[in-house]
């Protein structure tokens, strides 16, 4: 069933999408909306440009005598009633099928042959349906873009659409539009023009379809499609020869499709300038083969009633269907038993009299649907008996949804079907108002905030005013192509487009221009950034990336099978190039991945295509089990440990039970918010504000409160009495922060929205950037400057640190191999270092003067041995071979580890000569957090956490364990540590360290000594210099002198100069060094730099990485700032180009400019800054791709959601991110997977 949340999101989306509520232009061609029509406007009927259509009068098909004989569309509506064919595919219940419409029983198979992007996008589609016989050009079973037509007879007119709809209309009088006979049919008016043509108008998009009258001027017959046009005059013209045979389709954007035909069938589809797209083969008039650029056919078989009985894909995988005499699918199954289903349609519910459809899986699990007389689902019962109910208005719109717990969401629609209000189960309401063009002009959210929009006479959005009072303006040309965006401060971004509206050049607010070249399909073939660096792309006919050549000549390649599955991915052309191979099973599911070194992972699935097993290169298996309702109820890791999940009837996670029997339970409100969590007796409660964001959370003695302004921006966060405050400018950008100890930071921005200044603790830092947005210099006051240089691909190649009098204090040069991996660093102070890499790009040796490190790895990525110099202050206890039991590291050199039943380290022991071994003991809580450490000398340290799981304090206890001898408290800016204050008997007032970050990189540290009244007694300021990933390498004082310099092993075991006058506990991004244990604390886990492993398994399981306990594969390129998942530290410019290559194709205005929460300025700023640390996911439920990134504002991660040629970006709070990717806080497990090999250019 359609996700209810999409309806709620629709009202918000209307504030950001000029077409309103997610009704994208492509929907005009992909489906036939039956909800939300706008007012009928005479000016949209026969609008300008329609005269450009080539008249197809002689091309129209003519049935011999429709006064006496019925066309197939009329026969369908007469036989089954007007409601049978009026629902679009998106409104049909088909979840879990291949698909089958569970209301009618009809099997349907939609296929998209080609999508051409632009302001007025166009898709050429086909669709088969059992029992459908109104097709022609691809056989009787298939509707298609070229087959859409009107059947005109004495009774009226029947629209037969490209997606198989059959909608009856009365005869319209000239100039007087009419609506469908059925009140619940799509409310698109049909009209007759003065010249005899027919027009069909979609009020939601303003698109007009024109049909030419039947041949020879007959009153009855077939009126074929002639033209499509949008309100801006963009149009698509269908061309026919004198006999009605289609010749091609022309698009005002410059595209032209051509057809080959034979015997009344289309045999090939061509794109002028792009070659043949598809070839079609037939047997007895039925479409039996569709062949793409692979040369391999997708094959169909039919029965004697032209119903598809099987398809066989290009990999020879077969799927079959069986039908009853009413054209209903009664069984379907793949050759290996995948999606094996049976259907029963004729049961009747005794209470309502409604018909019941029952769908049963091969495992015997049955889901039932209660179907009303209009083929709408009014109740759905899952295999466990949970019932979800639906209600509809007279127009067929769903107006109520009641979940199995009785929570009801209600919607109302106006007379034309537009959503005007949405009432949640808690009674809060969102509302929308529309103008005469059917566009939303006022949207009131459930929190009372208001968004206002204006439009020109062609329904192009010209401004959006947000709740904070800011207004962004948009300019368009005569074709509706976006040409300018003016932010609330008056800065202008300019866009030059091609005829289709796709960007050819984008000039940002600072005047920097990025240009694009495109192929005949509208796909980008080259991007030239503002510095002149060129990235080139080649594509398959089907739109898959084939080759990519970076500005430095590095070439990446992909190969595919006939289904479009990526078979190989090769990074580079030289000896360093390594190919990754992929294999697939039924329904294009990934079956195996083989890396360049031969390491192989395999994947298994059940009959319902759910992942059931992952086998790693060592033969260990990770298993998943599901309940009859399809919910994950158990996962068993590589070591045999099980996690069990429990759900309420509404499928919301309510329990999680680990292998020790420890249970975490969750309670929720009607909206699904977690309001109470009980983790083994530790209770956390949550309260939410009007924005549905966390306002208060209490866990034991820890209390968190948050205060927001009317725009929902966080103004103040208080944790255990320590308050962090924020300030913002008119654009909603954060401009200030004050920490609990009074440290003030103020950010400034340039016209382009980039940080150009930071004043922190009274010191000013100035930033400069090149035209591509890369940071060129960072000047600390008058004495210290950090200059940086980048290559054409955006990789950092040089850092130069100067002090007073421009004296060079430090300098580094970075060298990379062809695939972008670091091979050498030349350090002015430490000398040159070089790195040996294995076929997978892992560092196996570090060579430097009087310094050598060596590492070996097994096929799963675990270290098998490690060595580093004996004079490293950390010692050599952990050097030598590694031993394992399963995934548990039991020995690292002479260091021994012990584990509990959950795979968490509870003891770490180093032998000592002539005395007892040094032993550290670790205590864990139910949520896998270390709560205490006992050091070798018997000292006990205690750790506390806030309700969000952030560590708030560490305390050294007195020998008797009754009092605190030393205490350090922590303050977090979102998910980034920003301040600590340490107190002890020797420093009663405390010593505070405050950090300022830019993205994930710390850039400044302020050290202050406080007295008992928390007044500053002494203060020292340091600039922080970091390496490629953001780990501190130097602290530089205000005079430009080095105060601290690190020397680290590859995996982060850090020493520093003996004459250091300062210190920082920061290590790899997100990590904090605990001297008492020698470990690094992350937000979610604890890291051991001597073994490159975490002390506990990843709470995300295998969702983050194939090895759940190791650190990232290459610490020069990747980091894990939260102890959850690898984040790439790849170059900003290169990833910016990736984004442009992947996203600029649709030509929508929001590619560059539709913003974070609808704020064009913020998203444009974000893209100009480039993604620095994205994590990529794919949501199979919706097809959306998700990028999570924290680069610009770690306290508020960005989620970029890409779907159907559209992009939306949002700021999200740290706890909301956790809600998506981990069940730790009680949210349902996300149904996100990592992308397929060709779904991300990395």
129-171 residue pLDDT tens: 999 999 999 999 999 999 999 999 999 999 999 999 999 999 9
Three-state SS for 867? strand
Residue 128 has pLDDT above 70, yes or no: yes
Taken in order 372, 375, 377, 383, the sign of the CA dihedral is positive
Provide the pLDDT for residue 1238: 41
pLDDT for 29? 29
pLDDT on residue 185: 85
Does the pLDDT at position 1162 exceed 50? no
* For range 797-807, the mean pLDDT: 93
262-275 average pLDDT score: 97
Q: What are φ and ψ of residue 757, in 5° steps?
A: -160, 145
Mean pLDDT of 708-726: 94
Least confident of 575-584, 700-709, 827-836: 575-584
For 244, 888, 904, 944, 994, the CA distances from 953, given in Å and listed in that order, are 79, 29, 21, 5, 15
What pLDDT is recorded for position 176? 93
Q: Are 49 and 57 in contact (CB under 8 A)?
A: no
With a pLDDT cut of 70, the percent of the chain lying above it is 85
- The predicted pLDDT at position 712 comes to 87
Residue 508 clears pLDDT 80, i.e. is over it: yes
Q: Any idea which of 14-18, 350-354, 526-530, 612-616 has the lowest mean pLDDT?
A: 14-18
Residue 1126 has pLDDT above 50, yes or no: yes
Q: How big is the chain by its Cα radius of gyration, in Å?
A: 32
pLDDT for residue 577: 72
Prediction pTM value: 0.86
Q: Which residues pair with 318 in a beta bridge?
A: 312
Residue 870 is predicted with a pLDDT of: 85
Average pLDDT in the 965-977 region?
A: 95
Looking at the predicted structure, is the pLDDT value of residue 52 above 80? no
Rounded mean pLDDT of 1107-1113? 96
Query: 1160-1169 and 1132-1143 helices cross at what angle (nearest 10)?
Result: 130
pLDDT digits (tens, 9 = 90+) for 919-964: 999 999 999 999 999 999 999 999 999 999 999 999 999 999 999 9
C-alpha–C-alpha distance, residues 692 and 856, integer Å = 49
Rounded CA separation 585/605 (Å): 9
* pLDDT, mean of residues 302-324: 97
- Nearest by Cα to 364 from 632, 628, 99, 633: 628
Tokens found for residue 298: 């997708």
- Residue 558: pLDDT band (50, 70, 90) is very high
Q: Kindly state the tokens that stand for 161.
A: 């659409």
Res. 823: pLDDT tops 70? yes
* Torsional class of 1191: left (φ above 0), alpha (ψ -120 to 50), beta (otherwise): alpha
Report the run of H or E that residue 462 belongs to, with start and end.
strand 461-465
Label the pairing between strands 440-444 and 149-153: unpaired
Average pLDDT over residues 252-265: 97
Q: What is the pLDDT of residues 844-862, one digit of tens each?
A: 999 999 999 999 999 999 9
Q: What is the mean pLDDT of residues 744-770?
A: 95
The residue with tokens 């669709």 is 127
pLDDT of 1187 higher than 60: no
pLDDT score recorded for residue 301: 98
What pLDDT is stored for residue 1199 in this prediction?
Answer: 54
Q: What is the mean pLDDT of the chain?
A: 85
Alpha carbons 663 and 668: distance in angstroms, whole number? 16
Task: Give mean pLDDT, residues 302-311.
Answer: 97
Average pLDDT of the segment spanning 1115-1144: 60
DSSP 696-760: EEEETTEEEEEEE-TT--EEEEEETTEEEEEEE-TTS-EEEEE-TT--EEEEEE-TTS-EEEEEE
More confident residue, 992 or 871: 992
Q: What is the pLDDT of residue 1125?
A: 85
d(CA 1023, CA 810): 13
State yes or no: pLDDT of 1095 exceeds 90.
yes
Most confident of 115-119, 606-610, 905-909: 905-909
What is the distance between the alpha carbons of residues 224 and 221, in angstroms, rounded to a whole number?
Answer: 10
- Overall average pLDDT of the 100-128 stretch: 95
Query: Over the stretch 7-23, which tens digit does the pLDDT of each residue have?
Result: 333 333 333 332 222 23
Q: Which two tokens stand for residue 582?
A: 């992929």
**By mean pLDDT, which of 60-74, 251-265, 440-454, 646-660 is the weakest?**
60-74
Mapped to the 3 state alphabet, what secondary structure does 1112-1180 carry?
CCCCCCEECCCCCCCEECCCHHHHHHHHHHHHCCCCCHHHCCCCECCEHHHHHHHHHHCCCCCEEEEEC
Q: Is the pLDDT of residue 27 over 50?
A: no
Whether the Cβ atoms of residue 708 and residue 1213 lie closer than 8 Å to each other: no
Task: Read off the pLDDT of each residue in 361-382 and give the average, rounded to a whole number.
Answer: 96
What is the predicted pLDDT for the residue at 219?
Answer: 80
| Model pLDDT, residue 512 | 94
Give the pLDDT confidence score for residue 1193 in this predicted structure: 40
**For residue 208, is pLDDT > 80?**
yes
pLDDT of residue 56: 36
**Residue-wise pLDDT tens digits, 377-398:** 999 999 999 999 999 998 889 9
Return d(Cα 324, Cα 309) in angstroms, integer: 12
* Percentage above 90 pLDDT, the chain: 72
Confidence of residue 36 (pLDDT cuts 50, 70, 90): very low
* Average pLDDT, integer, range 820-848: 96
**Torsion sign over Cα 1033, 1036, 1041, 1044:** negative
**What digits encode the pLDDT tens for the residues 526-550?**
999 999 999 999 999 999 999 999 9
* Tokens read off for 422: 């949405």
Alpha-carbon distance of 765 to 773, in angstroms, equals 17
For the chain, how long is the longest CA-to-CA vector?
109
- Per-residue pLDDT, 1186: 55
| 1064 to 220, 407, 944, 980, 1121: CA distances (angstroms) | 85, 52, 22, 11, 17
């Amino acid at each position: 069933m359609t996700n209810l949340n999409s309806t709620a999101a629709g009202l918000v989306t209307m504030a950001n999408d000029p077409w309103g509520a997610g009704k994208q232009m492509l929907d005009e061609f992909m489906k036939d909306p039956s909800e939300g029509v706008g007012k009928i406007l005479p000016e949209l009927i026969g609008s300008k440009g329609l005269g450009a259509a080539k008249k197809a009068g002689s091309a129209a098909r003519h049935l011999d005598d429709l006064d006496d004989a019925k066309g197939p569309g009329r026969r369908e509506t007469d036989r089954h009633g007007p409601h049978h064919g009026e629902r679009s595919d998106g409104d049909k219940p088909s979840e879990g099928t291949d698909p089958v419409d569970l209301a009618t029983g009809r099997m349907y198979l939609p296929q998209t042959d080609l999508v051409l992007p632009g302001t007025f996008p166009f898709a050429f589609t086909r669709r088969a349906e059992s029992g459908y016989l109104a097709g022609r050009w691809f056989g009787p079973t298939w509707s298609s873009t070229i087959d859409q037509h009107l059947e005109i007879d004495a009774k009226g007119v029947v629209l037969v659409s490209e997606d198989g709809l059959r909608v009856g209309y009365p005869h319209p009088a000239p100039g007087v539009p009419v609506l469908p006979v059925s009140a619940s049919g799509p409310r698109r008016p049909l009209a007759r023009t003065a010249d005899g043509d027919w027009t069909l108008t979609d009020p939601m998009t303003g698109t007009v379809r024109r049909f030419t009258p039947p041949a020879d001027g007959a009153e009855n017959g077939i009126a074929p499609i002639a033209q499509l046009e949008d309100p801006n005059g963009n149009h698509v013209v269908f061309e026919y020869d004198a006999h009605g045979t289609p010749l091609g389709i022309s698009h005002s954007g410059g595209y032209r499709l051509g057809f080959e035909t034979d015997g009344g069938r289309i045999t090939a589809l061509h794109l002028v300038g792009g070659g043949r797209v598809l070839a079609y083969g037939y047997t007895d008039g039925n479409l039996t083969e569709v062949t793409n650029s692979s040369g391999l056919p997708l094959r169909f078989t039919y029965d004697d009633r032209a119903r598809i009985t099987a398809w066989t894909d290009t990999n020879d995988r077969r799927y079959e269907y069986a039908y009853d005499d009413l054209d209903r699918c009664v069984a379907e199954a793949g050759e290996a038993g995948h999606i094996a289903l049976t259907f029963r349609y004729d049961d009747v519910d005794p209470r309502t009299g409604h018909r019941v459809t029952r769908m049963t899986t091969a495992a015997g699990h049955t889901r039932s649907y209660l179907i009303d007389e209009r083929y709408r689902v009014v109740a759905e019962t899952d295999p466990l008996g949970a019932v979800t109910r639906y209600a509809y208005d007279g127009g067929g719109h769903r107006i109520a949804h009641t979940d199995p717990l009785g929570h009801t969401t209600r919607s109302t629609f106006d007379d034309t079907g537009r959503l005007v209000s949405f009432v949640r189960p808690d009674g809060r309401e969102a509302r929308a108002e529309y103008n005469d063009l059917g566009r939303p002009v006022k949207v009131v959210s459930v929190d009372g905030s208001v968004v206002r929009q204006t439009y020109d006479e062609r329904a192009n959005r010209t401004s959006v005013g947000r709740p904070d009072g800011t207004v962004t303006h948009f300019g368009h040309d005569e074709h509706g192509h976006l040409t300018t965006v003016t932010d609330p401060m008056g800065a202008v971004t300019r866009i030059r487009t091609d005829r289709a509206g796709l960007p050819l050049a984008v000039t940002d607010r600072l005047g920097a221009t990025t240009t694009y070249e495109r192929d005949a399909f509208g796909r980008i073939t080259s991007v030239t950034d503002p510095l002149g660096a060129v990235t080139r792309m080649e594509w398959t006919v089907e739109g898959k990336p084939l080759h990519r050549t970076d500005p430095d000549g590095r070439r990446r390649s992909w190969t595919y099978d006939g289904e479009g599955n990526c078979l190989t991915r090769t990074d580079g052309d030289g000896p360093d190039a390594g190919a990754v191979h992929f294999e697939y099973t039924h329904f294009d599911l990934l079956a195996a991945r083989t890396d360049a070194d031969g390491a192989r992972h395999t994947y298994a699935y059940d009959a319902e295509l759910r992942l059931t097993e992952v086998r790693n290169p060592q033969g260990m298996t990770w298993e998943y089990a599901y309940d009859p309702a399809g919910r994950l109820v158990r996962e068993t890791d590589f070591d045999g440990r099980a996690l069990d999940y429990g759900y309420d009837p509404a499928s919301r996670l309510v329990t999680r039970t680990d292998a020790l029997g420890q249970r975490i339970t969750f309670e929720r409100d009607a909206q699904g918010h977690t309001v109470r969590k009980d983790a083994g007796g530790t209770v956390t409660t949550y309260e939410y504000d009007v924005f549905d964001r966390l306002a208060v959370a209490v866990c034991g003695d820890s209390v968190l409160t948050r205060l927001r302004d009317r725009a929902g921006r966080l103004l103040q966060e208080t944790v255990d009495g320590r308050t962090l405050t924020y300030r913002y400018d008119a654009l909603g950008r954060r401009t200030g922060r004050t920490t609990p100890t009074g440290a003030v930071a103020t950010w400034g921005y340039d016209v382009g929205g980039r940080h150009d200044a930071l004043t922190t603790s009274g010191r000013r830092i100035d930033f400069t950037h090149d035209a591509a947005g890369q940071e060129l210099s960072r000047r600390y006051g008058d004495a210290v400057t950090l200059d940086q240089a980048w290559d054409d691909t955006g990789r950092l190649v040089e850092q130069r640190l100067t002090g007073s009098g421009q004296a060079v204090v430090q300098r580094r040069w970075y060298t990379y191999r062809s695939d972008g991996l670091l091979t050498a660093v030349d350090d002015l102070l430490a000398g040159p270092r070089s790195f040996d890499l294995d076929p997978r790009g892992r560092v196996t040796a570090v060579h430097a003067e009087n310094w050598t490190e060596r590492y070996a790895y097994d096929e799963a990525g675990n270290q098998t041995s490690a060595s580093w110099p004996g004079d490293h202050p950390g010692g050599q206890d952990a050097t030598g071979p590694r031993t394992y039991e399963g995934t548990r590291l039991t020995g690292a050199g002479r260091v021994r580890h012990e584990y509990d039943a959950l795979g968490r380290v509870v003891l770490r022991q180093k032998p000592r000569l002539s005395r007892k071994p040094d032993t550290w003991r670790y205590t864990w809580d139910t949520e896998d957090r270390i709560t205490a450490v006992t050091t070798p000398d018997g000292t006990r340290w205690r750790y506390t956490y806030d309700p969000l799981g952030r560590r708030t304090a560490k305390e050294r206890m007195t020998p008797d364990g009754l009092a605190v001898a030393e205490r350090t408290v922590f303050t977090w800016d979102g998910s980034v540590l920003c301040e600590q204050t340490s107190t002890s008997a020797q420093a009663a007032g405390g010593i505070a360290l405050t950090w300022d970050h830019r993205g994930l990189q710390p850039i400044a540290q302020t050290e202050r000594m406080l007295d008992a009244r928390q007044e500053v007694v002494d203060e020292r300021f340091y600039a922080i210099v970091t390496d490629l990933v953001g780990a501190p390498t130097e602290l530089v004082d205000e005079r430009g002198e080095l105060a601290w310099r690190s020397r680290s092993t590859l995996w982060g075991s850090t020493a520093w100069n003996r004459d250091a006058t300062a210190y920082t506990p920061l290590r790899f991004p997100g990590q904090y060094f605990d001297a008492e244990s020698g470990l690094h604390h992350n937000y979610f886990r604890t890291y051991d730099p001597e073994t490159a492993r975490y002390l506990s398994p990843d709470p995300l399981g295998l969702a983050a990485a194939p090895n759940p306990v190791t650190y990232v594969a290459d610490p020069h390129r990747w980091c894990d700032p939260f102890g959850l998942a690898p984040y790439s530290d790849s170059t900003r410019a290169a990833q910016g180009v990736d984004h442009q290559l992947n996203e600029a194709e649709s030509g929508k205005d929001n590619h560059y400019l539709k913003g974070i929460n609808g704020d064009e300025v913020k998203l444009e700023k974000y893209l100009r800054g480039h993604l620095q640390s994205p994590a990529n996911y794919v949501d199979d439920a919706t097809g959306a791709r998700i990028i999570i990134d924290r680069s610009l504002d770690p306290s508020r991660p960005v989620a970029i959601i890409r779907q159907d040629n559209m992009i939306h970006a949002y700021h999200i709070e740290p706890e909301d991110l956790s809600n998506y990717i981990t069940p730790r806080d009680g949210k349902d497990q996300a149904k996100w997977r990592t992308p397929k090999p060709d779904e991300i250019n990395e």
